[in-house]
A and B are shown apart, each in its own frame.
Chain A
Amino acid sequence: GNSVTQMEGPVTLSEEAFLTINCTYTATGYPSLFWYVQYPGEGLQLLLKATKADDKGSNKGFEATYRKETTSFHLEKGSVQVSDSAVYFCALSANTGANSKLTFGKGITLSVRP
């Protein structure tokens, strides 16, 4: 079956540090890949997505590239801010069949210190 593996957390960084959060997946076919974010006290929201190999999703300074050869979708940001403190979830959706349910990783908590 499909699965998503995220690096273990939590992660604590100083403001303006470089961020990488690793995500790898196992899926049949060609899934769509997503990063969701949950800010403190808020609901889950889409951060970025990529729907085919070599696509780069980007939003709010975050980027992730769909790497089919390494089955990865690592999240990066060049300079994190305190406001980026949140829980980040990597997810995939299989593009086969009628059900486009999301398969999530366990999530990782990011804390950014001023």
Chain B
Amino acid sequence: GAGVSQSPSNKVTEKGKDVELRCDPISGHTALYWYRQRLGQGLEFLIYFQGNSAPDKSGLPSDRFSAERTGESVSTLTIQRTQQEDSAVYLCASSAGGARYEQYFGPGTRLTVT
């Protein structure tokens, strides 16, 4: 079956512009996560959606970052007024929910802010 997909795969943007990244989770997966991987660093948690519950936004680095998810489907991560330090690979993962369920990762979106 189809895995987690993300678009675009690469995005180059100028400092100060807004960008929107998209994630399509595996069908039926109630949990969806966004992570960020900056060069030479491990993955950092950004935000978590579980079903219709309020999202856990505790990992968002600033108020320039926001994310939405409609039901148990597509999610979008928006970064406003991008800065050079936002350059990273943004990864989305989905799971059936709960700590013991495997998270399946998408291929990521490589964001470069010039």
Contacts and interface: CB of A to CB of B under 8 A. Distances in A.
Contact of B100 (A32, A99, A106, A107): A32
B56 A100 contact: no
B45 to A, nearest CB: 4
Contacts of B31: 100
Contacts of B44: 104
Which interface residue of B41, B95, B105 has the most chain A CB atoms within 10 A?
B105
Contacts of A103: 45
B61 to A, nearest CB: 15
Contacts of B97: 100
Interface residues of B, number: 30
A77 to B, nearest CB: 21
Given A43-B107, A106-B40, A100 B45 contact: no
A99 B108 CA distance: 21
A99 B41 contact: no
B59 interface: yes
Interface of B: 3, 31, 33, 35, 40-45, 48, 50, 53, 56, 58-59, 91, 93, 95, 97-103, 105-108
Interface of A: 4, 31-32, 36, 42-46, 49, 51, 89, 91, 93-95, 98-107
